[in-house]
Each structure stands twice: as C-alpha cells, then as structure tokens.
Structure 1
Amino acid sequence: MRERLLSHCYKFATNGDMKAARLFLEVTSEKRPKTSIRNQQNNFIQVSGTTITEAQLKELTEDQQQQLQRILKGFNIPKEFVAV
C-alpha cells in the first residue's frame, strides 16, 4: 500500500504538483538529525604562538591578573575584549 501511495505521489509530483513533490521528497529523503546552533565562546590570549587559556587566566593571583590587565590596556584594546 505504501509503495502504491508513493508512486501516485511521485506521478503527481512529476506532473507539476509542488505539494506532492515536497511530500514525496520529505517521505523518501534520509532522516537527518536536527542541528542546533549554540553560541560558544572560547576565551584565551595568544601571543607569538603562546596560548593562555581562560582556565589558566583564572588560576592567576589577583596581582598577576591586575598586571596583565595593565599590560593589555597599554595596547588600547577595547574594554569588551579585556575581561580578566
């Protein structure tokens, strides 16, 4: 029964019925998992091939964090990019 219905749907689709074509393609296409887009932000500093990750930045002492902030502010980097 299924094949008969699909063949009728195909026949209507090849004769220009767009709803039949869409239905045929939906039913016969491979099922793909729905992809969800998540915003992911990776925070790190990279200078001359050396990368400092966000986890490493969090391990710095308060004095080291303040010193790093002063260094970065010397480059006139916009504030939204400097959050240690």
Structure 2
Amino acid sequence: MFLTKQPLTIARTLGVALVATLGLAGCATYDDEFATINSRLDQLDTRVQSAAQSAESANQSAQQANQRLDQLEGRVQQLEAAPARKPRG
C-alpha cells in the first residue's frame, strides 16, 4: 500500500512545484511591466520638472518687465504733467 501512495505524493509535490514556478514566472512578467511603467513615470517627472523651471524663468522675466514698466510710468506721468513748451521760432 505504501508503494502505491508514493507516486501519488511525488506527483502532488511536482504539481505544487510546477504551479509555484508558473506563478513566479508570472511575477517576472509583472516586474517587466512595472519597470516599463516606472521608466515612463521617470520621463514624465523629468518633463514636468523642466516645464516648472521654464515657467519659473518666464515668471521672473515677467516680474522684471513689470518693474521696468513701473519705473517708466513715473517718468511718463512727469512728462505729461509738465507745462507745455512753446515752440521755438
């Protein structure tokens, strides 16, 4: 009786090992997919950081332009408020 149960036990053990191996092979597939997704996320992160730097640079340039306009505004108001000059001649 022991001799007939041994092949059944071996078959079960091999079956479990086969299922475990196939399960691990499936995980390797997911690992590849995760690596691809992570690579895409890294690329997007790089693009977002570059866009943020560009936006910050544009913001600083706009602030400087606004400061120059504010400085000119005072001068324009002085010229407009000055008495009219008589033409020569």
TM range (shorter): under 0.3
Q: Compare the two structures and name the one with the higher helix fraction.
A: 2
Higher RCO (Cα < 8 Å, 6 or more apart)? 1
- Under a length normalisation based on structure 1, what TM-score does the superposition of the two structures give? 0.25
Q: Compare the two structures and name the one with the higher strand fraction.
A: 1
